[in-house]
Structure 1
Amino acid sequence: MADIAVLGHGVVGSGVLEVLLTHTQSITRRAKEEIRVKHILDLREFPELPYAGSFTKDFKVILEDPEVTIVVECMGGLEPAYTFVRKCLENGKSVVTSNKELVAAKGAELLALAQKNNLNFLFEASVGGGIPIIRPISQCLAANEVGEIAGILNGTTNFILTKMIREHMGFEEALKLAQELGYAERDPSADVEGADACRKICILASLAFGTHVYPEEVHTEGITKITLEDVAYADAWGGVIKLIGQVSMLENGHIAIMVAPMLISRESQLANVDDVFNGIVVRGDATGDVMFYGKGAGKLPTASAVVADVIDCVKHMKARKYLFWEEARPDYIEPFESIKGDFFLRIQGDCSSDETFAKAAEALPGAARIVRREEAKGEAGVTVENISEAGIRERLLRLEESGVRVLDRIRISDF
């Protein structure tokens, strides 16, 4: 018998209980041991539930129970989750978490503490919800040198962009619909401003390349400035706009990492990842591109990944499952201003569209034009290749000096 405790009985925590109770026999068979939830930490009471007697409001009850060997953290946020998880690891209890904010901010420290105490700290559900991604990168693709990872890592923003692309909804209208359907929170800023996707790409980068990446070090843009005009130009170009978290290892040993809306070619595997689904591409030297696809959030998909980690913990109780990365180091992340890439620009001048483009071609050598239907007077779509962030900023200043306004600037992905 393996006794566990669950911290938090919200969406994910209640889902973990549901999966454990409805799949008891198959879980016992896979874990080769019965798993019993002995304690559930929550400030609320749930007298109607069959396991109502397992609730406690006192974390010390769990911490000081020697029979509890695994703690499942489903509280979310940094505090008190971080304090509780650290104390569990210090007191001989392995931890499973779905908390992306915790792993992104404290992953290196907690992994080191788990290693020191010969315990497990597992977090499959922190990225991609029910999509297996942590385990494949750490085990199945271990023979590869991973060079790049790119993905649609947030279902809320992907749903909004899908509505803008397919049904020509404006951003605000699509966001309101997402909130009505329960895909977006009342305060959607963590999703639409890119913070959620940033935490997830930080975790993937830390795991793939072995050094912790902090979210505050990553250039992050959201989708709040994307317009239907941008969507139309992307279509004319031959693609769609997606919010992408992307990281790549450079020849100098630095990593280039960012979260930003990007134009994706229709030929890309990521172009057809729609609605609330997530898609992650891992580029390995031996395998090439490997695609992971599925629902990136939700009660039962996320709970499924959490329970899989619990089973892993039970099976590796006496033999620690190796998962580790080093603490962050200076000069590891390539300065954003020096990262080169291709760009799409939507510009407008107080002249004809042809004249607007002519001014852009003069300021941006090698610029190519995109023409969309119902193009506004003086408006032009332009693409520019292989230029750094600093370089394009400098040239756009020259363009604006000539009387041409830059309405939007979006990177073009090579995935």
Structure 2
Amino acid sequence: MRTRPLKVALLGCGVVGSEVARIMTTHADDLAARIGAPVELAGVAVRRPSKVREGIDPALVTTDATALVKRGDIDVVVEVIGGIEPARSLITTAFEHGASVVSANKALLAQDGAALHAAADDHDADLYYEAAVAGAIPLIRPLRESLAGDKVNRVLGIVNGTTNFILDKMDSTGAGYQEALDEATALGFAEADPTADVEGFDAAAKAAILAGIAFHTRVRLDDVYREGMIEVTAADFASAKAMGCTIKLLAICERAADGGSVTARVHPAMIPLTHPLASVRGAYNAVFVESDAAGQLMFYGPGAGGAPTASAVLGDLVAVCRNKLSGATGPGDSAYTQLPVSPMGEVVTRYHISLDVADKPGVLAQVATVFAEHGVSIDTVRQQGRQDGGGDASLVVVTHRASDASLTGTVEALRNLDTVRGVASIMRVEGE
């Protein structure tokens, strides 16, 4: 074993960073045995140096992250500060000064992954980011390496634990959205400002990363269609149960049937209770991968939290350190296909539409005509009068597969019918 340690700079020492530092210390001997050389925490960049950080030598703490990554003796930089800047500048500076990088920064990778990979290649450095998607679940490496000889056609997953906890609570207890969100916040599953989670921004960033790796093409955050879950109601869950379904916020990345394009989207969807993702409860994540040779694969586990995410970071650290010792680099950006990303209007799936309509003869015929005029075939229809005895009724239509553009045109035309009081909800049906 080499006696000179590999030196690691840690950028950020919050929930994840502190766990990384702890594991590096408590598992130092095991890590050294697995890598072939000891690893040494050479510096920790933080915003608040006065904060007590148990187990970390205060002499290692600095507020000058730039100076830390510019040190010529740093072998690996671990970036867990998040956000776009200064993370982007610090990572590129690390490459320029001979260090490889391990990151958990999904937002940055979704926005500028291609440029970061190019910078790493220019300096013969590694860029690893297993922790950026689905926490402790091994997902990036299987897609980049284990399935490198296969053709991945679809990635369908629950990649945000906060939203899954909320939707699971609504499903299992009948709670409303706000009640379920309040419980998630009290238990620490939701941030004080949950916008990034419940509006789908977090999941969209992960979808961009997954699509890019799975389909060997460049997919940026702006390419991902995003729809949040704040409008999902107890009535939607009741309709889902009537269909033998539940509701999940899904990240869906697909290759077109002709192989000429890809799509990436995040939105709530009904999925059958028989689908493996339907049984994913609480704050857990799961990703379902479909490929030509391997068939259907599912990856499941905790998708967030200090220790689980640190586990993924340390796995990358071991791999990068081994590469350093051998003088090699691992898999880089594989975007050789350069497939276009199709707009959401070209996505084809099934739909569940709930309408408030006048309770009188002929309404169903009018509604059916609108669907037919827009080329959307109806699978089932369910109508019932309102319990309050008013003059309106609830009409639920489930379609066969149709394009999103056709469905959008249908809904716009329905809103113009005098007999349609309102469109209560529109939900896609996936996983069939």
TM-score normalised by the chain length of structure 1: 0.95
Question: Secondary structure of the equivalent of 1:397?
Answer: helix
CA distance in 2, matches of 1:83, 1:241: 40
Equivalent position of 2:398 in the other structure: 383
Moved over 6 A (4+): 372-375
Partner in structure 1 of residue 379 of structure 2: 368
Match of 1:16 in 2: 20
CA contact (8 A) 2:384 2:393 kept: no
Q: Which moved more, 1:16-25 or 1:41-50?
A: 41-50
Q: Structure 1 residue 130: deviation in Å?
A: 0.4
Q: Deviations over 1:302-337 (max 9, x none)?
A: 0000011010011011110012134996x8111211
Query: Equivalent residues in 2 for 1:206-285 (5 A)?
Result: 206-250=212-256, 251=258, 253-285=260-292
Greater mean deviation of Cα atoms: 402-411 or 94-103: 402-411
- 2: CA distance, partners of 1:368 / 1:387: 11
SS in 1 for 2:400: strand
Measure how far apart 1:110 and its partner are: 0.8
CA deviations over 1:160-200 (Å, ceiling 9, x no partner): 00011000110011111111111111111110000100000
Tell me the distance in 1 between the aligned counterparts of 2:396 and 2:306. Answer: 41
Structure 1: any 5+ residue segments left out of the alignment? none
CA distance, structure 2, for counterparts of residue 204 and residue 48 of structure 1 = 34
State the partner residue of 1:2: 6
Q: Name the CA shift for 1:375/1:127 in 2 (closer, same or farther; >3 Å).
A: farther
Cα 1:371–1:83, aligned 2, differ >3 Å: closer, same or farther? same
Equivalent residue number for residue 147 of structure 1: 153
Report 1:327-342 matches (<5 A). 332-342=340-350
* 2:199 paired with 1:193: yes
Deviations 1:105-130 (A, max 9, x none): 11111111111211100000000000
The 3-state SS of whatever aligns with 1:316 is helix
1:50 maps to which residue?
Answer: 55
- 1:269-312 deviation digits (Å, cap 9, x = unpaired): 11111110001011110011100000110000000000110100
**Pair 275,226 (structure 1): closer, same or farther in 2 beyond 3 Å:** same
Q: Which residue pairs with 1:36 in the alignment? A: 40
Deviation at 1:60, TM superposition (A): 3.7
Match of 2:85 in 1: 79
Partner of 2:357: 349
Q: Distance in 2 between the 1:41 and 1:268 partners?
A: 44
Q: CA deviation at 1:48?
A: 5.5
In structure 2, the residue matched to 1:409 is 426
What is the alpha-carbon distance in structure 2 between the residues aligned to residue 121 and residue 278 of structure 1? Answer: 24
Q: Distance between the aligned counterparts of 1:84 and 1:48, measured in 2? A: 23
Q: What is the number of equivalent residue pairs in this alignment?
A: 413
**Partners of 2:17 and 2:315 in 1: CA distance:** 14
Q: Note the C-alpha offset of 1:19.
A: 1.6
Q: Tell me which amino acid in the other structure corresponds to 1:23.
A: H
Q: Give the one of 304, 307, 313 matched to 1:306.
A: 313
Aligned residues of 2:380 and 2:399 also touching (Cα < 8 A): no
CA contact (8 A) 1:38 1:54 kept: yes
Which secondary structure does the structure 2 equivalent of 1:111 belong to?
Answer: helix
Structure 2 equivalent of residue 67 of structure 1: 73
Deviation larger for 19-28 or 128-137: 19-28
- CA 393–307 in structure 1, closer or farther in 2 if over 3 Å, else same: same
- Give the letter for the 1:31 counterpart: I
Percent identical residues: 33
Shift of 1:64: 3.1
Amino acid paired to 1:105: Q
Alpha-carbon separation, structure 1, partners of 2:137 and 2:383: 37
Residue number in structure 1 paired with 2:208? 202
What is the SS of the residue equivalent to 1:234?
helix
Unaligned runs of 5+ in 2: none
1:355: how far off? Answer: 6.0
Superposition CA RMSD, Å: 1.9
Segment of structure 1 superposing worse, 64-73 or 127-136: 64-73
- TM superposition shift of 1:257: 1.6
When residues 287 and 374 of structure 1 are mapped into structure 2, their CA distance, relative to the original with a 3 A threshold, is: farther
Between the aligned partners of 2:175 and 2:337, the Cα distance in structure 1 is 41
